[in-house]
A = this chain, B = another copy of it.
């Protein structure tokens, strides 16, 4: 994926790029809310067969997407990032 193509895709996403990783931090009211979010993201991840790194700190979930096997960001990361944004925009988790 070229730089321009990647930049264009990123512009439509609510994720921060840190080098070869897309990062998204989501806060919920409490641990139960955070865990519900993780399970919803997990369903999308399983369906995509692509899994973000997930850190849970009580009510705060940090998601990190990259494609280790490709050594950088790929279309799989962008697609799953967009799906997760959709999940959150719909208020599903």
Contacts and interface: CB of A to CB of B under 8 A. Distances in A.
Interface residues of A, number: 15
Interface in A16-56: 31-32, 35, 38-39, 42, 45-46, 51, 53-56
A53 B57 contact: yes
A42 B31 contact: yes
Nearest to A32: B46
A53 B51 contact: no
Interface of A: 31-32, 35, 38-39, 42, 45-46, 51, 53-58
Contact of A39 (B35, B45, B51, B57): B35
Contacts of A54: 54-56
A53 B53 contact: no
A55 B55 contact: yes
Interface centre among A32, A56, A58, by most B CB within 10 Å? A56
